[in-house]
Structure 1
């Protein structure tokens, strides 16, 4: 009997993924089963018509990464929007559906990768639990209900959304049953025709026609030309081991810079407030680089790994002082799901799947139950901006699944949702687990902070959960931080999770009490 583990922000998705692992399935197949399920359970945060990113680590091999970020339509240019009298890309509706949905191509690429050495379970077996959930219905959680309330006004014009995700125009309520039988049927079609059918074939033709009829710039050629990419992950060396994350167009670089600066500056005698202060100031340095540099890798002045050179990191660390540096700056928002798992052979996956804003564009493709993403909002209609809209370009992503390989042999897959908060929550989780020696669940559960605006917030103050504010708020204020207290275990702080593989084959998993999730450990007899 070998231990296996799965962490997800919804318990049912974790259960479905764990069952695949307990039945001897590999980590990629388990993740696909969980990812299909979470698209039904958390439709406000992710969809099969969204994007995804993977980090996959097999013991004895270098980690591998998959970029399943959708690219801008060939018709989607600055002139395309300017000719419609627009100064910015609309946040909702058909004009916001300008990027391809990459997540299913990412599933396919991950299956091809793991299939080189491992047995693959039939796709029908992996998608069947999600299809059943879609038909029978899922219980609406507070997270889903809150998102439904938030978008109730701005999505009033989206007829398919109104039919599927409201109750005669009223937002969903906690305890409601949400059914999406058309999505169940769509999952069955994918199982029969294969994941590639989303991009080439009958399904692709139907999706492209529906999007064009709605007013999207996406066309069939955009589907046919899209492929998820195998990319080299970014990495940085710290005193405890090697940290990995995704390269541009994600903000993985920012996440690694924060950890690298903290590692350079860390002292054993710091108070909790000094630890948080240093992480916040490192975050400011990382975000300044992110916001100036990160875009589609083809248009970057230098690739992300160069920003992780020792000389550059030492210079950035020198800018972190004992008092708070000036802020604010414009923040990015975004909603997503992170999940992680480890299988019986030790293969570990850190995975993210997203729509961008709650319910993405709000455009539901008729007959499919699919909500299309609005990730293209990351583009700007300014030709001089480094994230200027270009046909075929990849937009800036807040998504960044993380992985750490510790010097003592432990390995951790970890991550969170929360847009701008993702690098900050990752840093809180990892530093508390390693430097502070906290148990995995406590590293996630303990009060957190958030610099800047996210999840619709308009306040740039350093937000502290109430339990943390009671502990360190006064000391942080004396250091010059403008703070604001929010409720403990607030969802704005993200839905963090982690899976750890220990020496000797033991595993551990945890999930955030701020979500509806679970970190589950089981045994595989195969």
Structure 2
């Protein structure tokens, strides 16, 4: 088998879900309506890339607290025997400078129009569709437009995002009057949408159809661009229509490391995927016994700490990085870093010195195409600014920059900020194994490490790998764990000096999807039990 070996009949963890198998096509996402939208496009003759776009567009409707049309995206796809990467994250507008932020205060505020960078999602959809899709973009986006137009019953998970944001933004409204656009769009009756309540967004449907009919031009050069420009000027934002008109996503080669015979692929910086690869390189140099051995968890935590400390010091827009990817992924450097791991929790420092709202989905088709796709507004609903009449909630990715003048990631016009969202992909012997991803801010490389280790080191099947209790390294020696984490592991981590907090907050630990294809062409899917995860299969 090219896929990691596992016993499909053995379940190591109590799961609300079982593995899903398919042959003609599979779409895995965090919401049933989104997965079904993707499957609908597959059945109309679209391929996996079209299906992923359809599901992604639907997620902007059904999970607006996690992503939106006004966000960014990254993709890794396998098509026609090749692996491709698309960076569709936007840069800082021309007026967005360090000095401009400092005039308003000493930090980059997460709310309001000043936090809005150029959105990349619509351009990403168009680029994927035009380069690798089969159906017109207008047809691919129509299922999502219909959901927005006709409305859908909100789930408990989605309702919680509405309620959380309602409470947060209510306190910020006086300081950031543009947040009224959020309340007008997402709480028109003056209260958060409740579970089971029907929510409609005709403006959202209009925006999706305009984007589809114009292959994204309406968003970057047409009437939606005009509306964004007008709103930004009204609320002292930096973004202008010319920033939108100048934007193009970038096709770029993914980066990889070989972990015990499997090539694990991530997108290169400005994303944090390289952190997961660095951590896997470190982990490869230490002995792991069993999945539920406390020493295994300790070593994984220490590996991610070391990788994050280097990532924080070096990751920026690739054009500004002095350390190359090859240097950061050096096996000899990883070996040296691994020797810092002992039996106690550490406070890691970077070995190289240098001058969280998201949705993830994956899709596969009968032709052999597979795609790993992620998009986000950041911090839930992003900036809290929504374009009236179009339902477009705008991201706050300027928060990915720093105002430290000498830091590689300091804000600068035309520069992409540090990005948390990362899609993953596995190959073996130059053959596709499949896409994987776990959304959730800085949890993402941590979850990538845990899931890959579960699949490859401990032979868990995809569903068990997703269901296994997760840990989250917070900072320093602080670690959060899920309540399902075995008690003997928690007790041992405390003895080793980790400051452990047990938290029931599911969102902290990410939400993931996995699709693998075996040598017989059978698709094997696992989805997230911490959310409304759903696999639509054909």
Contact 2:31/2:533 (CA < 8 Å) preserved in 1? yes
Cα deviation for residue 359 of structure 1 reads 0.7
**Aligned pair in 2 of structure 1 residues 435, 59: CA closer, same or farther (>3 Å)?**
farther
Give the TM-score normalised by structure 2. 0.89
- Given candidates 347, 354, 358, the residue that maps to 2:380 is 358
| Match in the other structure for 1:467 | 484
Residue 66 (1) aligns with residue 82 (2): no
Q: State how 1:43-62 maps to structure 2 within 5 Å.
A: 43-58=64-79, 60-61=81-82
Cα deviation for residue 28 of structure 1 reads 1.1
Residue 197 (1) aligns with residue 218 (2): yes
Partner deviation per Cα, 1:24-45 (whole Å, 9 max, x = no partner): 3211111110011000010011
Once residues 50 and 395 of structure 1 are traced to their aligned partners in structure 2, the CA distance between those partners, rounded to angstroms, is 13
| Match in the other structure for 1:134 | 148
- Equivalent position SS for 1:151: helix
Partner deviation per Cα, 1:3-56 (whole Å, 9 max, x = no partner): 321110111111111222234321111111001100001001101110000001
Contact 1:510/1:520 (CA < 8 Å) preserved in 2? no
Partner deviation per Cα, 1:437-482 (whole Å, 9 max, x = no partner): 11211111121111107xxxxx973111122142521222222222
Cα deviation for residue 390 of structure 1 reads 0.4
**Unaligned segments of structure 2, at least 5 residues:** 1-21, 174-178, 351-355
Once residues 192 and 350 of structure 1 are traced to their aligned partners in structure 2, the CA distance between those partners, rounded to angstroms, is 25
Once residues 486 and 76 of structure 2 are traced to their aligned partners in structure 1, the CA distance between those partners, rounded to angstroms, is 34
- Equivalent position SS for 2:221: coil
Cα deviation for residue 209 of structure 1 reads 2.3
- Given candidates 154, 172, 194, the residue that maps to 2:193 is 172
**Aligned pair in 2 of structure 1 residues 336, 397: CA closer, same or farther (>3 Å)?**
same
Once residues 352 and 318 of structure 1 are traced to their aligned partners in structure 2, the CA distance between those partners, rounded to angstroms, is 34
Residue 146 (1) aligns with residue 160 (2): yes
| Match in the other structure for 1:501 | 517
Once residues 32 and 195 of structure 1 are traced to their aligned partners in structure 2, the CA distance between those partners, rounded to angstroms, is 13
- Given candidates 397, 411, 415, the residue that maps to 2:419 is 397
Partner deviation per Cα, 1:479-510 (whole Å, 9 max, x = no partner): 222211123x8232111111111111101111
Contact 1:450/1:462 (CA < 8 Å) preserved in 2? yes
Contact 1:498/1:510 (CA < 8 Å) preserved in 2? yes
Once residues 468 and 323 of structure 2 are traced to their aligned partners in structure 1, the CA distance between those partners, rounded to angstroms, is 37
- Given candidates 92, 111, 133, the residue that maps to 2:111 is 92
Contact 2:281/2:331 (CA < 8 Å) preserved in 1? no
**Aligned pair in 2 of structure 1 residues 470, 227: CA closer, same or farther (>3 Å)?**
same
- Equivalent position SS for 2:427: strand
Once residues 500 and 112 of structure 1 are traced to their aligned partners in structure 2, the CA distance between those partners, rounded to angstroms, is 26
Contact 1:469/1:485 (CA < 8 Å) preserved in 2? no
Q: State how 1:209-228 maps to structure 2 within 5 Å.
A: 209-228=230-249
Q: State how 1:439-458 maps to structure 2 within 5 Å.
A: 439-452=461-474
Contact 2:527/2:533 (CA < 8 Å) preserved in 1? yes
CA RMSD of aligned residues (A): 2.1
Partner deviation per Cα, 1:210-233 (whole Å, 9 max, x = no partner): 322232111111011110001121
Q: State how 1:308-323 maps to structure 2 within 5 Å.
A: 308-323=329-344
Once residues 106 and 373 of structure 2 are traced to their aligned partners in structure 1, the CA distance between those partners, rounded to angstroms, is 34
| Match in the other structure for 2:7 | none
Once residues 128 and 295 of structure 1 are traced to their aligned partners in structure 2, the CA distance between those partners, rounded to angstroms, is 36
Contact 1:233/1:246 (CA < 8 Å) preserved in 2? yes
- Equivalent position SS for 2:448: helix
| Match in the other structure for 1:19 | 40
Cα deviation for residue 113 of structure 1 reads 2.7
| Match in the other structure for 1:182 | 203
**Aligned pair in 2 of structure 1 residues 253, 74: CA closer, same or farther (>3 Å)?**
same
Q: State how 1:287-436 maps to structure 2 within 5 Å.
A: 287-326=308-347, 334-407=356-429, 411-436=433-458
Once residues 270 and 514 of structure 1 are traced to their aligned partners in structure 2, the CA distance between those partners, rounded to angstroms, is 20
Contact 1:399/1:419 (CA < 8 Å) preserved in 2? yes
- Equivalent position SS for 2:520: helix
Once residues 168 and 405 of structure 1 are traced to their aligned partners in structure 2, the CA distance between those partners, rounded to angstroms, is 49
**Aligned pair in 2 of structure 1 residues 502, 23: CA closer, same or farther (>3 Å)?**
farther
Once residues 74 and 266 of structure 1 are traced to their aligned partners in structure 2, the CA distance between those partners, rounded to angstroms, is 49
Cα deviation for residue 408 of structure 1 reads 9.9
- Given candidates 276, 301, 305, the residue that maps to 1:280 is 301
Matched residue pairs, number? 505
Cα deviation for residue 125 of structure 1 reads 1.6
Give the TM-score normalised by structure 1. 0.91
Cα deviation for residue 149 of structure 1 reads 2.7
Contact 2:67/2:375 (CA < 8 Å) preserved in 1? yes
| Match in the other structure for 2:121 | 103
**Aligned pair in 2 of structure 1 residues 100, 506: CA closer, same or farther (>3 Å)?**
same
